[in-house]
Structure 1
Amino acid sequence: MKILRYIVLAIGCLIWIVGLSPSILPWLWKEQIVEDGYQYGDLYKLSTLSAFRDPRKHCTGYLPPARPESPKKVHLYIIGDSFTEKGRVGKADFAVDEYTYVHLADFLHIKLDTAEHNILLIETVERHFRQRFATELTVLVPDTATFVAKVGPGKFVHRLDEAFSGKHTADRLDGFLFQNDLALRIKEWKSDFNHRFFDREASGVTLVNNDRDMVYYMDTDTPEITSAFTPVRTTELDSMIANLNASRNFADSLGFDNVILSIIPNKVSVLSPGYGRYNNLIERIYNHPGLEMPYIDILPDFRRMGRSAYLKGDSHWTCEGQTLWLNKVNALINRLVGGPAS
């Protein structure tokens, strides 16, 4: 009986430590000791509706096209978000010699090698474009060496507050205890019951197209600027274009040879643009006469692809959608590197 008490105490201490520590759970995810909660999609994690359980697939086998002969090595830098993070795309997916990625929330201290052909790709999902270009980009920091500086919690007292924050602790405990298949099945029973009998689903998602598709609520049911249905005034559009061009000019001053823009459409913009009065943000940015950089436009292609462009239980693209984007990026890189003759 005493041994049983010690076992229960040990388990309780383990759960308590995982709940308080910001670093243990990510390590458990990395070592695949526990699931990270995204194994069936980020939208499924929010809703736990069984119809949208979509096992995660890793896209493999993509081969970039051959690159035209160039006197310089090609170095691609990406400032991006979750669509281009590690694990989704990497150096092997691009027709380049060198590759550097930094998240839009972090900082890239940079010293360019002018012996290389340096290309900067700015990638952002549609929902966050207006936030990110309300000002100029501040990700690039001139320095004597190139390295990524991640934004951390800050001083010790801030890290302590983070550790004892009730919301973060609850999130860590949920990730540790309730993202396994057994717990998810029980959550599904509750979510399916509420949806079927009360027409109610989790507040983080929106069902569209007669409940056949699921999208992120920030893209639809909010008056905030993340929504694809919140109006964009011409003055705001002009301001974003000015900030884009200023960001490109700053990149030019650091020695970049080319700067490319890529706005990844929200899932709802592809599958249900008639959900409300669509603001046409992507088209208006790309077609603005003041835009001073080349861009990668996949919105028309994705609309032709329909449901095959996005994962059923996730807000990210399928392997087919990713391949289409990579083909367009690599084609543009090859044109820029090859020059007018290409």
Structure 2
Amino acid sequence: MRFLRYTVLFVALILWVAGLSSTVSHWLYNAGVIVDDYRHGDLYRISALSQFKDDQPVCPPSNRASDTASTHLYIIGDSFSEEQRIGQNDFRVSHYQRVKWGFTQRAQLDPSKRNVLLLETVERHFREHFAQPVNELVVEKDTAQNPTPIQMWWEKLNADYHRSDVEERLASTLFSQDWAFWFKEAKAALTLDWFNRASTGVSLSRDQKNIFLDFDTDTTRKKLSSFSELSDAEVNTLVDSLNSVADRYRQLGFDDVYLSIIPNKATILEPNRGAYNHLIERVQNSPALRVKTVNIYLPYKQAKQSPYLNGDTHWNCQGRSLWLEAVRKQLAI
């Protein structure tokens, strides 16, 4: 009995630590103890509505990277340009580097190459990103003269320890298996059928055929929703900020700076849900804008089929292909 008690206590301790530590959770994931609870889509994960359960596709690789290409590509981007979705092989470039919004990386530009910076952001976060200085990519003349500072063990431990999202991480650790989603699906279906209410964090289209992130549709999310008010003055301020960011990176050695705003799912699939603020068009068509843009809004609007996954905020393989085609054409890579 004592052995069983200590075993249960040890297992509970390991799972609790996994909720706090990225290192431990990755170790348990690789060991098969916990599974990826995003595997059927981030919106399905939140809602647990079985009609939006969608296996994540494996899109065909482009295999375009070349050691002899004359372009080096740098991206400051969000989840759309994460490694599992986009990579160097998708572009005709000889060097590729991506940094996530909110994080910092250093880069040393090769003056003998064409250095291109792509600012990629989903529509809901554009107003946040350019309401403040953009310093995610730090350009240095010689990174060998300024090596990355060595982190002490306590600094690494502090970076690995997550206090703010521990509840969500524990839930993912404990309830990521299929058996848990079976119970979640039953509860979600009952709530929708009896009370016509979906889980907090998502919203359904009026015909209930599409599911969106609540951020995209809730107008109280004033900086996030496609349907929140956006004044001309704020558009001008954002364009000025974008111009300033591009000018600074050009001064640091970039030959070209481009902007790509990826539409919110609700913007494309249910634009008449409310008064759409037309953020993308107003920014891209501003006469004051001095930054080249990758216009994916129009191709998505004209697409005969949805460019988004059924149960996810991100694109499907067709949507990915449309974006890559637009980027390659505009950046000539």
After TM superposition, the score normalised by the length of structure 2 is 0.90
Deviation digits for residues 15-48 of structure 1 (CA, Å, limit 9, x no counterpart): 2332343431133335654212100101111100
Question: Does 2:312 align with 1:314?
Answer: yes
SS in 2 for 1:131: helix
Structure 2: how far apart are the matches of 1:40 and 1:161?
26
Q: 1:95·1:333 contact (CA, 8 Å) conserved in 2? A: no
When residues 160 and 261 of structure 1 are mapped into structure 2, their CA distance, relative to the original with a 3 A threshold, is: closer
1:22-37 map, 5 Å? 22-29=22-29, 33-37=33-37
Q: Report what 2:255 is aligned to.
A: 257
The secondary structure found in structure 1 opposite 2:218 is coil
- 2:117 aligned partner: 120
Q: Counterpart amino acid of 2:71?
A: V
Q: Could you tell me which residue of structure 2 aligns to residue 57 of structure 1?
A: 57
Q: 2:191 aligns with which of 194, 200, 208?
A: 194
| 2:91 is aligned with 1:91 | no
**Cα displacement (A) at 1:313:** 0.4
Point out where structure 2 has 5 or more consecutive residues left out of the alignment.
none
Deviation by residue 1:195-241 (Cα, 9 ceiling, x = unmatched) = 01111111100100411000000011142210111111111111111
Map of 2:225 onto structure 1: 227
Q: Is the 8 A contact 1:213 1:312 kept in 2?
A: yes
Q: How does 1:1-342 map to 2 (within 5 A)?
A: 1-29=1-29, 33-64=33-64, 73-143=70-140, 144-145=142-143, 159=158, 163=162, 165=163, 168-223=165-220, 224-305=222-303, 307-334=305-332
Tell whether the 8 Å contact from 1:121 to 1:259 is kept in structure 2 after alignment: yes
Kindly provide the amino acid, as one letter, of the partner of residue 281 in structure 2. Answer: E
- Equivalent AA in structure 2 for residue 96 of structure 1: V
Percent identical = 37
Deviation at 1:109, TM superposition (A): 1.9
The Cα of 1:135 is off from its aligned counterpart by 2.6
Question: What letter is aligned with 1:38?
Answer: Y
Q: Structure 2: which amino acid aligns with 1:21?
A: S
Aligned residues: 326
Answer whether contact 1:44 1:313 (CA < 8 A) is retained: yes
> 3-state SS of the aligned residue for 2:290?
coil
Indicate conservation of the 8 Å contact 2:76/2:137, yes or no: no
Distance apart, 1:141 and its partner CA = 2.1
* DSSP-derived class of the 1:138 partner: coil
Question: Mean Cα displacement is larger for which, 86-95 or 218-227?
Answer: 218-227
Q: Which structure 1 segments of 5+ residues have no match?
A: 338-342
Deviation (angstroms), 1:3: 3.6
Q: 1:29 to 1:291 in 2, by over 3 A?
A: farther
The separation in 1 between residues aligned to 2:14 and 2:69, in whole angstroms, is 54
Structure 2: which amino acid aligns with 1:204?
Answer: G
* Contact kept in structure 2, 1:119 and 1:258, CA below 8 Å: yes
- Check whether the contact 1:109–1:148 (CA below 8 A) recurs between aligned residues: no
Q: Which moved more, 1:13-22 or 1:311-320?
A: 13-22
Change (3 A) 1:299 1:161: closer
Whichever residue aligns with residue 109 of structure 1, its letter is R
Q: Distance in 1 between matches of 2:302 and 2:123?
A: 18
Q: TM-score, normalised by structure 1?
A: 0.87
SS across alignment from 1:76: strand
CA distance in structure 1 between the aligned counterparts of 2:233 and 2:120, rounded to whole angstroms: 23
Superposition deviation, residue 56 in structure 1 = 1.2
Change in 2 beyond 3 A, CA 1:20/1:293: closer
User: Contact (CA 8 Å) 1:136, 1:244: kept in 2 or not?
Assistant: no
Cα offset, 1:110, TM superposition: 2.5
> How many angstroms does 1:306 deviate by?
5.4
Whether the 8 Å CA contact 1:43–1:215 is kept in 2: the answer is yes
Which residue identity is paired with 1:85?
A: E
Query: Per the alignment, do residues 319 and 288 of structure 1 end up closer, same or farther by CA in structure 2, a change over 3 Å counting?
Result: same
Are 1:162 and 1:168, in contact at CA under 8 Å, matched by a contact in 2? no
**1:138, distance to aligned residue in structure 2 (A):** 1.7
2:91 alignment partner AA: F
